[in-house]
Structure 1
Amino acid sequence: MASTVETLASALAEDCMKAMKATGQERLYVEVGAVLGAASQTLEEAFLTEVRVRLAERAARDFLIRRVKELRASPEG
């Protein structure tokens, strides 16, 4: 079972990712992290970890999609 910090950080990260996509502000999470850090360093660290994991997953997924398209388009694929 997830702790309160993990639950809050995950939900906030998900909302922040949606806001980043909607607004085009790719560094919004840094600002949110600063607000959190002023009140709770523990929540800030958990939130930033959640965001980084989501950003890494998104980058890897984008790479995988591009790579599969390349392989399908190649004569050997």
Structure 2
Amino acid sequence: MRVIEELADALAKDVLEAQGELGDDRFYEKMSKVLGELSPTTQEAFMTAVRVRLAEKRGRDFLARSLAAKRSGTAAPAAPRGADSGH
């Protein structure tokens, strides 16, 4: 159901933006529990949106650092390796 993904993504965006103000970089986990009590489907859509947004942010950061290194003639940042690198 498309509405679930749209609502969950909008909430994920808002929660990730609010984390800095709240001083809690894992606040999304608390929100996930709140959602899971009423709708596991919404909880999973929310967590998927959170993971996608966090991965995109990390990817953009890596791209920016790689370009900065290239432009300044310094060593490029190392990409993650091993079991912790995702799928």
Q: TM-score, normalised by structure 1?
A: 0.88
Partner of 1:30: 29
Partner of 1:66: 65
Q: Is 1:15 equivalent to 2:10 in the alignment?
A: no
Gaps of 5+ in 1: none
Partner of 1:39: 38
CA distance in 1 between counterparts of 2:9 and 2:67 reads 30
CA distance in 2 between counterparts of 1:60 and 1:20 reads 19
Structure (1 or 2) with the greater helix fraction: 1
- How many residue pairs get aligned? The number is 74
Higher relative contact order, chain-length normalized (CA < 8 Å, sep 6+)? 1
Q: TM-score, normalised by structure 2?
A: 0.79
- Code of the residue aligned with 1:74 in structure 2: it is G
Runs of at least 4 residues of structure 1 off by over 3 A? none
CA distance in 2 between counterparts of 1:56 and 1:68 reads 18
Gaps of 5+ in 2: 75-87
CA distance in 2 between counterparts of 1:60 and 1:21 reads 20
- Identity fraction in percent: 45
